[in-house]
Each structure stands twice: as structure tokens, then as C-alpha cells.
Amino acid sequence: MIYKLIISASLFISTFVLATSTSVPQPVPAVFTPTSIRFQTIDLYADSEDEPLAAYQIEVIAEFPSGSVSLVGVEGGDHAATKGAFAQPPVYDPDALTHSRIILAAYTSCDAANLPIGRVRIARLHVQIESTAGNAANPANDLNQERKNITNPTYRVRVIAAGRADGTRITADFEALPGEHR
Amino acid sequence: MSHDPDAQPSPDDAIPPRLHHDLVRLHRPDGSPTVPTDIDDRIRLIARHRLTQLGPVRVHVPAAREVDTDVRCRRLAAIRWIAISASAAVLALSSMLILPRFGSSRGASGPGGGLASRPLSPDGLALVPQSPLPHDINNDGAVDILDAQRLAFVLRTDGPREQGGASWDINADGNIDQADATAIAQHVVDTKKPGGTG
């Protein structure tokens, strides 16, 4: 009777420890092997028409079914066109670099007279694109041919806020234009 | 039931002597082994207890055997409790080891993570109390970059910063300055914050 009890307790403890140690989720490795890695710039434009743009907060979402897009860098906007207001890179969450979406935000402490009006480039993103397209169709790994076969990612911009110098809300259009591949 | 009913009077007063005598004769065939008197007494005692409903009857067993059984029961109970306690300890230990692993993936932000990361005190020993969430400084019903813009505007134009009071001290450093506007900006871009714009 005593031995039975000790054995069942030991079995229970061992099973529990084993179950808990194996129930911790392990990172799942990527199932695809990238056949091409390239870099691209994304220019972000704002158009506030005749309103001076002092602050903005947008979400940029990359959609790329045949691979992944990672943000590798953020730089500021066109210094001359924005009158220096958005020359510095916008604020962003560094943890979002490896995801396909990122929130960018910038505000200024300039006078209304020194704020950009109309359509200006407010920031530029640098992304890394990993694509699996053409892997089976191109065993010779001809890079030029492969580039032609790759479907380019698409980028969407969701406007969260845009405002004047005093923090009041305005309506502005934002656009993400992919640059050349490198 | 005694060996010789004629020689000994019936000890049970409730039974008539004649009936007692007949019963003894009925259950004592000639040549059968005799039953010790003390056993008869014990059986009678048990029967009396039951009849008068005085409570449970305890049958006497040898003292050494009773002690042995008692010790064994206690030992079994102790082992049972040790097993249960060990299982509970393992459960608690596993929970303590495993739960932090699930929790560690949350709340960790990289450099410039803003309000999500809790700064250390200058001596590096204690955590500074976490800053309150940024408030809706421009009163438009949302906490976004326009609140940082509004705060920066008020600071630049020497506006009425007292209207916000301590709630505008976002980074809880005792001052309302540009660092608070920066803290709001860092907060609104956090993609992991619960219920945020991200």
C-alpha cells in the first residue's frame, strides 16, 4: 500500500513536470526559405492642402503574401519642402521593426508660418523584402528572372491624426509611394 | 452459557431460570467441547450493550495487536500527506517558474520604448513609479499625437499650463516640459499598448 502510494505520487509529479516543461510555446521557425532579399524605400507624403501641418500620426501597413516586409530604417522628410518642421525622423516603436505595420508620429514646435502647406514628403522608410516567389520555378536561381517574377508588396496608410500648431484636428491625405528596389 | 447450568445460577436476571436451563441443554450436545466461561460473559456483555442501546460496542482485542494497527494507520496517513504536500509543492514551483516566462514577452520595449519601460532610479536599485497614462490634453476625446502637439504649443506660447495641473506631468519628473510631449508621442506609437490607437 505504501509503495503504491509512493509510486503513484512520483508518477504524478514526473508527468506534471514533463507536461509543464513541454507546454511552453517554442518559437516556430520560418517554414519558407527566402530566395531573394532586397531593399526598398517608401516615401510618405502628406497633403494638408491650405492648412499648415504641425503634427501627424499614421499607421503604415505592408501587405505581401509571397514573403515578408521588415522595416530597417526611418528617416525624416524633405527639409526644404517641410521648412525643416519634419526634417527629423518621426517617432516610432522600435519593436515594430520586424512587423509588417508601424505607427509613425511627429509633432513640431514651430510657428504656423514655418509649417508646410500642401503636398510634402514627411518621412522615408527603408524596408527589407524577403520573397519566396519563383523558388520552384527557377532552380538556376537567376536573380534577374526572379526579380521579374516577384510580386511587389503593397503599402497602405491609415491616418490616425493630423493637426495644426495648436493641436486642433485637420483633415489631410497621406500616401506611401514605393521607391526603387536595390 | 456455562459448563454446568445446574451448579451455577443464571447470571442474566432477565431470563427465567427454567428457560435458561433449557437453552443450555439445547445447545450442549453430549461430548462437545466446553466453552470458556469468560467468553460467555463477553458475549452476554455485548448483547446487553446492544439491547440497551448504550452505544457502540468495542470488542476487546489483544493490546499489542491494537497498537500495531494504530501505528500502521498513522504511518499510512503521514505518507499520504507527504505525497499530497510534495505534489502541491511541485505545482507551486512549476507555476513560479513557468508563469514569468509567459509574462516576460509583454511590457518589454526597446530603446525609446517610452512609458512601457519602467526606468531605474539613479542608484539603479529601485524602480521609479510608473508614469500615468497621457491625458487628453486637447480635449478632443482621443489620446494621440495632437495631445503632444497641444502640450508643445502651450509650452512654447507660455500658455496656461496650470490648467492641466499634475496630470500634464506625463513622465512624473516634477516638471511640465518638452519631455512630457515626447513621452506622449512615444506612447501613442506603441503598437503593444492595450486599448491604444495602435
B24 grid coordinates: 443450555
| A96: three-class secondary structure by DSSP | helix
User: pLDDT: is A29 or B152 the higher one?
Assistant: B152
Q: What is the DSSP string of B35-97?
A: PPHHHHHHHHHHHHHHHHT-SPPPPP--HHHHHHHHHHHHHHHHHHHHHHHHHHHHHHHHHHH
Among A55-59, B50-54, B58-62, B146-150, whose mean pLDDT is lowest?
Answer: B58-62
Nearest-angstrom CA–CA distance, A159 and A157: 6
A62 grid coordinates: 505592408
Most confident of A31-45, A70-84, B131-145: A70-84
The answer to whether A93 contacts chain B (CB < 8 Å) is yes
How crowded is the C-beta side of A10, counted as CA atoms within 13 Å?
Answer: 6
Nearest-angstrom CA–CA distance, B147 and A57: 11
Nearest-CA distance B88 → chain A (Å) = 9
What pLDDT shows up at residue A47? Answer: 95
What pLDDT shows up at residue B80? Answer: 86
| A146: three-class secondary structure by DSSP | helix
Residue B191 has pLDDT above 50, yes or no: yes
What residues of chain A lie within 8 A of the CB of B155, using their CB? Answer: 109
pLDDT band at B9 (very low <50, low <70, confident <90, very high): low
User: pLDDT: is A152 or A62 the higher one?
Assistant: A62
Mean pLDDT in residue range B155-184: 80
Most confident of A17-26, B17-26, B100-109, B180-189: B180-189
pLDDT, tens digit, for every residue of A155-179? 999 999 999 999 999 999 999 999 8
pLDDT, tens digit, for every residue of A5-17? 676 667 667 666 6
Helix residue spans in A57-126 (DSSP H): none
A101-107: strand order across its sheet = A91-92, A101-107, A55-63, A154-163
pLDDT, tens digit, for every residue of A43-55? 999 999 999 999 9
Residue A76 has pLDDT above 60, yes or no: yes
What pLDDT shows up at residue B13? Answer: 64
Nearest-angstrom CA–CA distance, B175 and B111: 23
What pLDDT shows up at residue A57? Answer: 95
Tell if the CB–CB gap between A16 and B137 is shorter than 8 Å.
no
Nearest to A52 by CA among A77, A29, A3, A86: A86
Tell if the CB–CB gap between B181 and A102 is shorter than 8 Å.
no
Most confident of A103-107, A134-138, A150-154, B129-133: A103-107
Tell if the CB–CB gap between B149 and A55 is shorter than 8 Å.
yes
Nearest-CA distance A149 → chain B (Å) = 33
pLDDT, tens digit, for every residue of A91-133? 998 777 777 888 999 999 888 888 999 999 999 999 988 887 5
Nearest-angstrom CA–CA distance, B109 and A94: 8
Nearest-angstrom CA–CA distance, B2 and B41: 9
What residues of chain A lie within 8 A of the CB of B181, using their CB? Answer: 107
Q: What is the DSSP string of B127-155?
A: BPPPPPPPP-TT-SS--SHHHHHHHHHHH
Helix residue spans in chain A (DSSP H): 2-22, 143-149
Residue B28 has pLDDT above 80, yes or no: no
What pLDDT shows up at residue A143? Answer: 58
Residue B103 has pLDDT above 50, yes or no: no
Average pLDDT, chain A: 80
What pLDDT shows up at residue A158? Answer: 94
What pLDDT shows up at residue B176? Answer: 85
Among A35-49, B107-121, B128-142, whose mean pLDDT is lowest?
Answer: B107-121
Tell if the CB–CB gap between B190 and A169 is shorter than 8 Å.
no
pLDDT, tens digit, for every residue of B66-88? 666 777 878 888 888 888 888 88
Size of interface A-B (CB pairs under 8 A): 128
Mean pLDDT in residue range B20-30: 77
Nearest-angstrom CA–CA distance, B133 and A40: 36
Nearest-CA distance A35 → chain B (Å) = 30
A182 grid coordinates: 536595390
What pLDDT shows up at residue A64? Answer: 87
Tell if the CB–CB gap between A160 and B145 is shorter than 8 Å.
yes
What residues of chain B lie within 8 A of the CB of A20, using their CB? Answer: 94, 98
Nearest-angstrom CA–CA distance, A115 and A91: 18
What region does A98 belong to: left with phi over 0, alpha with psi -120 to 50, or beta? alpha
What residues of chain B lie within 8 A of the CB of A59, using their CB? Answer: 198
Residue of B nearest to A107 (CA): B149
C-beta of residue A47 within 8 angstroms of C-beta of residue A171: no
Residue B113 has pLDDT above 50, yes or no: no
Whole-prediction pTM: 0.53
Residue B11 is classified by DSSP as: S
The answer to whether A132 contacts chain B (CB < 8 Å) is no
Residue B46 has pLDDT above 70, yes or no: yes
Mean pLDDT in residue range B190-196: 63
| A181: three-class secondary structure by DSSP | strand
With b for 16 or more beta-carbon neighbours within 10 A and e for fewer, the A85-104 pattern comes to bbbebbbbbebbbeebbbbb
With b for 16 or more beta-carbon neighbours within 10 A and e for fewer, the A65-75 pattern comes to ebbbbbbeebe
B13 grid coordinates: 436476571
C-beta of residue A53 within 8 angstroms of C-beta of residue A127: no
Nearest to A97 by CA among B188, B198, B184, B110: B110
Tell if the CB–CB gap between B87 and A168 is shorter than 8 Å.
no
